Structures are given as C-alpha cells and as structure tokens.
Structure 1
Amino acid sequence: MEWILAPWPWYVSGPLIAFTMFVLLYLGKTFGLSSNLKTICTLCGAGKTSDFFRFDWKAQRWNLLVITGAIAGGFLASQFLSVDQVPALNPQTVDQLHTSGFASAGTAYVPTELFGSDAFSSPKALLLLLIGGLLVGFGARYAGGCTSGHSISGISNLQLPSVIATIGFFIGGLLMIHLLFPLIF
C-alpha cells in the first residue's frame, strides 16, 4: 500500500498518460479541462445569450465525468492517501522565497501564504488570486484551450497550434518567475 502514498515516477505516470491519450484518440475524443467550463456555462443557460454557448453539450458528458473524477480523486487523495510531502527545493531557492516573504517555502508543498486559509484575510493575496484566475481563464479561452489540452492532447494529435501554445506557456512561465515575481514580491 505504500506505493500509492508516494509520488509515482515519470516512467510509471508517463506511460499511463500516453495510454489514456491513445484510448481517447482511438475513441475520437480530445482531452482538456478548460472545455468543461464552456459545457457548464451551456448547462446553466448561457446559450440563450451567446451563440458561442449553443452546442450539443450532451456530446461532452464524458468530459464532465473526467473533471468530476479529477475533483473527487484529488479530494480522496488529499484526505486519505496524503502524507506530508514537501518537494526538495534548492537551498538557494528556499532562501530567495524566504526573502520574498514565503516563510513556508521548504516546509510545505505549496506556499501557504498564497494557498492557505490565511490568504483570504490578506487583500494582496486575494487580489493576486483574482487577477491570476482572470488571466488564466482569459489565456485558456484565447489560446483555445488550457495547458493540459494543448500540451497533452493537442501535441498527441500533432497539432501545430498546440505546439505553439505550449511554447507560449513555457515562455510565459519563465517571464513570470524571472521578471514579474520579483516585482510583485
């Protein structure tokens, strides 16, 4: 049972992702989590006000099951299978994060200053989460999908726009961490 509590190595999780993609390609499906937002908006009646949301949502029921399973699986894993896992960070990175105000760096899986319950009492953290969420939502819509859709499904389908979007995700991440992160924190 200990194998399920530890992070799985790339040579196990990678082939499982590849197998999942093979099955989806065989069935003629494409994978992406952000497409569920469009489906949920359609279910809530957004098709009455916008042509973008007028489509057969029933064809996307399988994808709603995927996101429901991801949410349920994440909850079950965090509640029943989780052990206190802290990623091994470079000591210089930990020092830089401590200097930037992230005292939890090196002792928690994610920075509790941004993702803990204390974040909801800090106006700066709330504003960062709100702006970040809006930018991610806009970016996913503007790019025609999210990182999982483009980087896993789109590249598996040999789609050039997905390769370009994935390169853009990496460039954006590098710019954020090296240029904007020091300015914000």
Structure 2
Amino acid sequence: MLQAVFLISGLFVQNKNMNWILEPWPWYVSGPLIALTMFLLIFMGRQFGMSSNLRTMCSMCGADRKADFFDFDWKAQQWNLLVVLGAVIGGFIAHFYLSDAPTTVAISSETIQDLNNLGFESAGNAYLPTELFSTSVFSEPLTIVLLLIGGVLIGFGARYAGGCTSGHAISGLSNLQIPSLIAVIGFFIGGLVMIHFLYPLIF
C-alpha cells in the first residue's frame, strides 16, 4: 500500500505540471478543502477532533472498567483513529517526498527577535525549536518534569473542555457552537498568558 503511494507521489514529482503540489497551498485552496471536509462530516453525522482519540484508545485498553467516562461504544469512533493514522502517514509523505521547501520558517524578523529574547535561538530555522524538541532536552530533569506535566494537562484539559483546537476551532465553530467560540478565545488567551508571563517564570 505504502509502496503504491510512494510510486504515485514520485510520478507527481516528476511531472513538471504538478510542481504546485511541492509548494505551500494558499488559504483560498486549503480553506475550501477544510470546509468541504467539514460539510461531509456534518452530512454523515460525525464530528472531527483529534483529542477524542485519547478517550477512544483508553477505552480500547479497558479503562471503561475503572471509570464511567470511558464506558462508551469506542468501535463507533474507529474512523477517527484512521484519521490520525492518515495524518501521520500523510505528514511523513509530504515531508520526505512532496516537499522541496527549505527548512527555514517564514516568520517576521520582529517575531524571531522576540523568540530569541525568550531563549529560542533556533527561531526561524526549523518548525520545531530545538530548545524544546531536540533529544538533548531529555537529559534535563526540569524539562522532563515539565513535559510530563504539560502532557497530562493537555490530555486531561482537552477532554475536560470537550475537545482540542481541531474539535472546537474547526468542528465546533463550523456548527456555530457558542461553547466552541469561548474555548477558541480561551486558547488564544492561554497562549498569550503562557508566552508572556508563565514562560519567563518557568525558564
């Protein structure tokens, strides 16, 4: 299966008329594609969301015997697990086979300077700052503790809030849900508070 995908991808790359697939797509292309996806999901009575898979996987592992929260028909959510698998495979193919873009990130010089002031010297050189995502960070006990605490807060918080950024910002707002609008506003406020107040205190 993957070999067939790689073969097709190679044919696309070799075709000069398909060079557009190697470049970032503009908002007026990716936006309607997201809207089309949401329309199909709404039509089928399903709701898109990545963090809901955490609950599904816990239920699959038998967590429903310990907590009522996980006692539901997880088989009805198998399609969403395929979405996650497709996102991983698609990201791998896009990065290694369908991308000739440089590793640098196109962000403003002011943003790079602000990030440098916060200690992110790799800002603009990669999508993931090496100060947080390189293998060397696992040699620092403080970083390991922060990653564990952050993972628990993200995992628990997303389900406690009824969804993550994809569940609320994409699915929720598409369904004109007021709680999702409040959640999205909270996402932005939380990010600003973290980067301007909490991050300098922690690091």
> Which of these two proteins has the greater Rg computed from alpha carbons?
2
Alpha-carbon distance change, 133 to 106 in structure 1, aligned in 2, over 3 angstroms? same
Q: Give yes or no for contact 2:60–2:74 (8 Å, CA) kept in 1.
A: yes
Deviating more after overlay: 15-24 vs 115-124: 115-124
Cα displacement string for residues 117-146 of structure 1 (whole angstroms, at most 9, x for unaligned residues): 222223333233222212211220221111
Q: Give yes or no for contact 2:54–2:155 (8 Å, CA) kept in 1.
A: no
- Alpha-carbon offset, residue 13 of structure 1: 0.7
Alignment match, 1:127: 145
Does residue 171 (structure 1) correspond to residue 189 (structure 2)? The answer is yes
**2: distance between equivalents of 1:109 and 1:57?**
34
Alignment match, 1:61: 78
Does residue 93 (structure 1) correspond to residue 111 (structure 2)? The answer is yes
Alignment match, 2:47: 30
Alignment match, 1:141: 159
**2: distance between equivalents of 1:166 and 1:81?**
32
Which structure 1 residue ranges, 5 or more long, are not aligned? none
Alpha-carbon distance change, 99 to 163 in structure 1, aligned in 2, over 3 angstroms? closer
Deviating more after overlay: 175-184 vs 154-163: 175-184
Count of aligned pairs: 185
| Matched residue SS, 1:108 | coil
2:178 pairs with one of 157, 160, 165:
160
Alpha-carbon distance change, 130 to 54 in structure 1, aligned in 2, over 3 angstroms? same
Any runs of at least 4 consecutive aligned residues in structure 1 with deviations exceeding 3 A, and if so which? none
| Matched residue SS, 2:97 | helix
Letter in 2 for 1:70: A
**2: distance between equivalents of 1:109 and 1:158?**
32
Letter in 2 for 1:138: F
**2: distance between equivalents of 1:146 and 1:13?**
20
- Alpha-carbon offset, residue 159 of structure 1: 1.3
| Matched residue SS, 1:59 | helix
**2: distance between equivalents of 1:118 and 1:81?**
29
CA RMSD across the alignment: 1.7
Which structure 2 residue ranges, 5 or more long, are not aligned? 1-17
- Alpha-carbon offset, residue 37 of structure 1: 0.9
The percentage of aligned residue pairs carrying the same residue is 65
Alignment match, 2:7: none
Letter in 2 for 1:129: L
Does residue 106 (structure 1) correspond to residue 131 (structure 2)? The answer is no
**2: distance between equivalents of 1:159 and 1:101?**
38
| Matched residue SS, 1:81 | coil
Does residue 84 (structure 1) correspond to residue 102 (structure 2)? The answer is yes
Cα displacement string for residues 26-82 of structure 1 (whole angstroms, at most 9, x for unaligned residues): 001011011111111111111111111111111111111111111221222233234
**1: distance between equivalents of 2:118 and 2:142?**
14
Alignment match, 1:48: 65
| Matched residue SS, 1:107 | coil
Alignment match, 1:117: 135
